[in-house]
Amino acid sequence: MDQHTRLDVILGKRIAGSLEKNLGLLTIADLLENFPRRYLQRGEFSEISSLPFDEDVTILARVISSSTRTMRARRGTITDVVISDSDEGGPVLSSVKISFFNGFNARQKLQPGVLALFSGRVGSYGGHLTLTNPDFILLDEAVTTAADAAAMAKLPIPVYSATAKLTSWTVQRAVAMVLDQADTDHWFDPIPEWLRTRERLPGLSQAYRMIHQPTSVEQCYWARKRFRYQEALVLQTALARRRAETAQEVATSRPGVLDGALTAFDAQLPFTLTAGQRRVGEELSRELATSHPMNRLLQGDVGSGKTLVALRAMLQVIDSGGQAALLAPTEVLAAQHAESIRRTLGTLTRDGLLGPGDGPSVSVTLLTGSLPTAARRQALLDAASGDADIVVGTHALLSDNVTFFDLGLVVVDEQHRFGVEQRDVLRSKADAPPHLLVMTATPIPRTVAMTVFGDLETSVLDELPDGRSPITTHVVGLVENPRWEARLWQRAREEADAGRQVYIVCPKIGEGDSLADDDGGEALALFGAPAGGDGGAQELTGVVGMLEALRAEAALQGVRVEALHGRMPPEDKSRTMAAFAAGEVDVLVSTTVIEVGVDVPNATLMVILDADRFGISQLHQLRGRVGRGRLPGTCLLVTRLEPDHPSRERLAAVAATTDGFELSQEDLKLRREGDILGARQSGGRSTLKLLRVIQDEDVIALAREDAQELVAEDPGLEGHPALRMAIENYLNPEKEAFLERG
Ligand code: ADP
Ligand code: MG
- Of the listed ranges 45-49, 172-176, 655-659, 666-670, the least confidently predicted one is 666-670
63: Cα within 13 Å, side-chain hemisphere? 25
The whole-number pLDDT of residue 24 equals 87
State which of 307, 336, 414 you would mutate to test the pocket of ligand 1, scoring each by most atoms of that ligand within 8 A of its C-beta: 307
∠ CA 71-75-78, rounded to 5°: 40
Amino acid at 415: Q
Residue 617 lies in a domain: yes
Residue identifier of the C-alpha nearest atom 15 of ligand 1: 305
Residues 57-79 have a mean pLDDT of 87
pLDDT in tens, 221-231: 999 999 999 99
Strands 115-125 and 95-101: unpaired
Cβ–ligand 1 contact at 414 (below 6 Å): no
pLDDT in tens, 493-549: 999 999 999 999 998 888 666 554 443 332 222 222 333 333 334 577 889 999 999
Buried b (16+ CB within 10 A) or exposed e, 454-493: bbbeebbbeebbeebeebebebbbbeeeeebeeebbebbb
Boundary of a domain, candidates 184, 208, 237? 184
The whole-number pLDDT of residue 386 equals 94
pLDDT at 361 over 80: yes
Q: What's the residue count for the chain?
A: 742
pLDDT at 334 over 60: yes
Residues 431, 475: one domain? no
pLDDT at 182 over 60: yes
Residue 206 lies in a domain: no
The whole-number pLDDT of residue 742 equals 30
- Of the listed ranges 60-64, 212-216, 458-462, 593-597, the least confidently predicted one is 593-597
Residues 377, 275: one domain? yes
Residues 175, 282: one domain? no
Boundary of a domain, candidates 616, 635, 657? 657
Cβ atoms of 59 and 65 within 8 Å: the answer is no
The whole-number pLDDT of residue 549 equals 92
The whole-number pLDDT of residue 643 equals 87
Residue 64, C-beta contacts closer than 8 angstroms, at least 6 positions apart: 82, 83, 84, 92, 95, 112
Residue 496, C-beta contacts closer than 8 angstroms, at least 6 positions apart: 502, 556, 559, 560, 586, 587
Residue identifier of the C-alpha nearest atom 24 of ligand 1: 465
Residues 522, 647: one domain? yes
Residue 228 lies in a domain: no
Q: How many domains does the chain have?
A: 3
Contacts within 8 Å (CB) and 24+ apart, 346-349: 346/268, 347/268, 348/261, 348/264, 348/265, 348/268
DSSP code, position 192: -
The whole-number pLDDT of residue 514 equals 53
Residue 143 lies in a domain: yes
Residues 454-465 have a mean pLDDT of 77
Residue 92 lies in a domain: yes
The whole-number pLDDT of residue 669 equals 63
Cβ–ligand 1 contact at 271 (below 6 Å): yes
Residues 620-628 have a mean pLDDT of 84
- Of the listed ranges 23-32, 165-174, 680-689, the least confidently predicted one is 680-689
Cβ–ligand 1 contact at 84 (below 6 Å): no
Distance from C-alpha of 123 to C-alpha of 103, rounded to nearest angstrom: 19
Residues 479, 428: one domain? no
Output the domain CATH number for residue 526.
3.40.50.300
The whole-number pLDDT of residue 224 equals 93
Cβ atoms of 402 and 408 within 8 Å: the answer is no
Residues 52, 174: one domain? yes
Residues 475, 403: one domain? no
pLDDT in tens, 492-501: 999 999 999 9
pLDDT at 676 over 60: no
Cβ–ligand 1 contact at 465 (below 6 Å): yes
What percent of the chain stands above pLDDT 90? Answer: 42
If one counts every other C-beta atom within 10 angstroms of the C-beta of residue 128, the result is 11
Supply the mean pLDDT for the chain. Answer: 82
The whole-number pLDDT of residue 534 equals 36
Split at pLDDT 50, 70, 90, the class of 449 is: low
pLDDT at 150 over 60: no
The whole-number pLDDT of residue 138 equals 86
Ligand 1 mean position, distance from CA 214 (Å): 57
CA 7 to each of CA 14, 554, 742: distance values in angstroms, whole numbers, following the listed order: 10, 68, 15
The whole-number pLDDT of residue 465 equals 79
Q: Which residues pair with 542 in a beta bridge?
A: 508
Residues 493, 631: one domain? yes
Strands (E), 105-246: 115-125, 128-138, 156-159
**527: closest CA among 444, 424, 611?**
444
pLDDT in tens, 590-606: 988 775 556 788 999 99
SS3 of 606, please?
A: strand
Order across the sheet with 364-367: list the strands. 364-367, 390-393, 323-327, 407-413, 435-440, 295-300, 457-461
Radius of gyration from C-alpha coordinates of the chain? 30
Residue identifier of the C-alpha nearest atom 9 of ligand 1: 305
Distance from C-alpha of 28 to C-alpha of 33, rounded to nearest angstrom: 9
**What is the span of the domain harbouring residue 419?**
261-288+304-440
Looking at per-residue pLDDT, the higher value among 191 and 692 belongs to: 191
Looking at per-residue pLDDT, the higher value among 73 and 256 belongs to: 256
Residue 711 lies in a domain: no
Residues 411, 536: one domain? no
SS3 of 287, please?
A: helix
Residue 320 lies in a domain: yes
Cβ–ligand 1 contact at 464 (below 6 Å): no
Boundary of a domain, candidates 401, 422, 440? 440
The whole-number pLDDT of residue 519 equals 38
If one counts every other C-beta atom within 10 angstroms of the C-beta of residue 695, the result is 12
What percent of the chain stands above pLDDT 70? Answer: 83
Cβ–ligand 1 contact at 630 (below 6 Å): no
pLDDT at 104 over 60: yes
Ligand 2 mean position, distance from CA 293 (Å): 23
pLDDT in tens, 162-176: 877 888 989 999 999
The whole-number pLDDT of residue 607 equals 96
Amino acid at 435: H
Ligand 1 mean position, distance from CA 411 (Å): 16
pLDDT in tens, 275-285: 999 999 999 99
Looking at per-residue pLDDT, the higher value among 584 and 332 belongs to: 584
Q: 4-13, 131-140, 539-548: which has the highest mean pLDDT?
A: 4-13
Amino acid at 595: E
Distance from C-alpha of 398 to C-alpha of 393, rounded to nearest angstrom: 9
Residues 429, 476: one domain? no
The pair phi, psi for residue 50, each rounded to 5°, is -110, 20
The whole-number pLDDT of residue 550 equals 94
Output the domain CATH number for residue 79.
2.40.50.140
696: Cα within 13 Å, side-chain hemisphere? 25
Buried b (16+ CB within 10 A) or exposed e, 663-676: bbebbbeeeebebb
Helices marked H in 327-372 — which ranges?
Answer: 331-345
Residue 676 lies in a domain: no
Residues 498, 606: one domain? yes
Cβ atoms of 674 and 693 within 8 Å: the answer is no
Distance from C-alpha of 635 to C-alpha of 571, rounded to nearest angstrom: 29
Residues 104, 174: one domain? yes
Distance from C-alpha of 671 to C-alpha of 690, rounded to nearest angstrom: 15
Distance from C-alpha of 148 to C-alpha of 27, rounded to nearest angstrom: 32
The whole-number pLDDT of residue 455 equals 66
Looking at per-residue pLDDT, the higher value among 212 and 115 belongs to: 212
Ligand 1 mean position, distance from CA 220 (Å): 51
Question: 613 burial class (0-12, 13-18, 19+ CB within 10 angstroms)?
Answer: buried
pLDDT at 553 over 70: yes
pTM for this prediction: 0.64
CA 740 to each of CA 101, 182, 568, 736: distance values in angstroms, whole numbers, following the listed order: 45, 20, 46, 7
